[in-house]
């Protein structure tokens, strides 16, 4: 009845746990949501004002399919400031969130049966996107014993004549791992296009520094956006930076799939880049404090945390000793502790038995959720 590709799209299990929690809340049960990766902060006020002003000025029409030039120019300047690499505004395509940017790049590079190498644990949607584009995800495991750092030799061994790209995330969801410079250099030397998801760049702790493949290879496609760093999830604003040779086909794909990104939202992004740095830094410092509270309290409960996450806003907790799959365990925690978490199965087999906690919510919610979990642990 439906296309075969729809059968290859796996459900987002964290959302299923969250939705069950929402149903419980409608029944009058107090639920603490620690499973969703959405900042609880408001967007930078300058971005909100810019969106309102833009709407009131009638900026509600189609734009250049690549995005308005001032925003593409600002993104290029921001790229040079953060990554130390000069790019042209003509290498930028503005998208409605980072997911469309990923889909554009996969459609550019992947034919039916082609392979995309992906480190795991991974963001749940990556394999789905690859499969919908006709590709095959080739998983290269990372583990807690090495801090979820990618082994370049394992990636090299996974390369075949059908390999079309490496999809990389640093900082990573769900581990928070930041890949060392030598790993990024090693992957760049393989001569394979790298799709580098850098949506959590700027949210790092304890001096961790993000290295972009853009610094080492011209075959890099940077995927980024405003959702995480600027707490602008609902604006749906992202972008990609690509080699100049790829821009014409990417523009054609953008025209056919999406036409253009909302004009007034683009002006909000321009304001965020111009005025949002202090807002981002305040959020980052608060995330760092929440991270410390969460990691310390979980360890006091006797739970195993492989790494203090150097980036993003997640803590991946090893709960394999409870002796059940992570989805069952997450639902058990929801029923007994009234705390919603992210089951590790979402993030690939390498994360089965783990559970993801998010510190993107308030300290009060974090502390209450952890108190509830501590009380419920003997029953699990």
Q: Please name each of the domains of the chain with its CATH number.
A: 4-42+278-379 (3.90.1150.10), 45-275 (3.40.640.10)
Pairing status of strand 342-343 against strand 238-241:
unpaired
Distance, CA of 316 to CA of 145 (rounded, Å):
13
Distance, CA of 252 to CA of 174 (rounded, Å):
33
* pLDDT one digit per residue (tens) for the chain, 380 residues: 788 888 888 888 888 999 999 999 999 999 999 998 899 999 999 999 999 999 999 999 999 999 999 999 999 999 999 999 999 999 999 999 999 999 999 999 999 999 999 999 999 999 999 999 999 999 999 999 999 999 999 999 999 999 999 999 999 999 999 999 999 999 999 999 999 999 999 999 999 999 999 999 999 999 999 999 999 999 999 999 999 999 999 999 999 999 999 999 999 999 999 999 999 999 999 999 999 999 999 999 999 999 999 999 999 999 999 999 999 999 999 999 999 999 999 999 999 999 999 999 999 999 999 999 999 999 88
**Edge-to-edge strand order for the sheet containing 163-169?**
92-95, 238-241, 220-225, 194-197, 163-169, 115-120, 136-141
Partners of 343 in beta bridges? 355
Structure pTM? Answer: 0.95
- In eight-state DSSP terms, residue 182 is H
């Amino acid at each position: 009845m439906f296309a075969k590709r729809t059968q290859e799209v796996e459900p987002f299990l964290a959302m299923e746990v969250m939705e069950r929690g929402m149903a419980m809340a409608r029944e009058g049960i107090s639920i603490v949501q620690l499973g969703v990766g959405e900042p609880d902060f408001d967007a930078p006020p300058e971005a909100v004002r810019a969106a309102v002003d833009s709407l009131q000025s009638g900026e509600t029409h189609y734009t250049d399919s690549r995005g308005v030039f001032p925003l593409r120019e600002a993104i290029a300047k921001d790229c040079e400031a953060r990554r130390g690499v000069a790019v042209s505004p003509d290498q930028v395509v503005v998208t409605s969130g980072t997911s469309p940017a990923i889909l554009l790049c996969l459609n550019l590079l992947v034919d039916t049966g082609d392979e995309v190498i992906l480190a795991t644990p991974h963001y749940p949607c990556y394999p789905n996107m690859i499969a919908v584009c006709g590709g095959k995800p080739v998983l290269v495991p990372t583990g807690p014993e090495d801090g979820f750092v990618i082994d370049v030799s394992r990636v090299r061994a996974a390369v075949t004549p059908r390999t079309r790209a490496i999809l990389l995330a640093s900082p990573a969801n769900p581990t928070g791992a930041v890949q060392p410079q030598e790993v990024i250099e090693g992957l760049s030397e393989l001569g394979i296009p790298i799709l580098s998801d850098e949506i959590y760049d700027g949210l790092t702790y304890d001096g961790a520094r993000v290295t972009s493949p853009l610094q080492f290879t011209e075959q890099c496609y940077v995927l980024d956006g405003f959702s995480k760093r600027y707490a602008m999830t609902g604006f749906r604003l992202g972008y990609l930076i690509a080699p100049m040779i790829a821009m014409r086909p990417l523009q054609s794909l953008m025209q056919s799939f999406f036409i253009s990104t909302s004009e007034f939202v683009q002006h909000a992004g321009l304001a965020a880049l111009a005025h949002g740095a202090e807002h981002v830094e305040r959020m980052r410092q608060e995330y760092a404090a929440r991270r410390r509270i969460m990691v310390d309290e979980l360890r006091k409960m006797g739970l195993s945390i492989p790494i203090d996450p150097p980036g993003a806003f997640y803590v991946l907790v090893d709960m394999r000793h409870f002796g059940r799959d992570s989805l069952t365990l997450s639902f058990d925690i929801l029923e007994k502790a009234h705390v919603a978490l992210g089951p590790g199965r979402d993030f690939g087999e390498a994360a089965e038995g783990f559970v993801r906690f998010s510190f993107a919510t308030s300290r009060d919610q974090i502390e209450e959720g952890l108190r509830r979990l501590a009380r419920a642990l003997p029953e699990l």
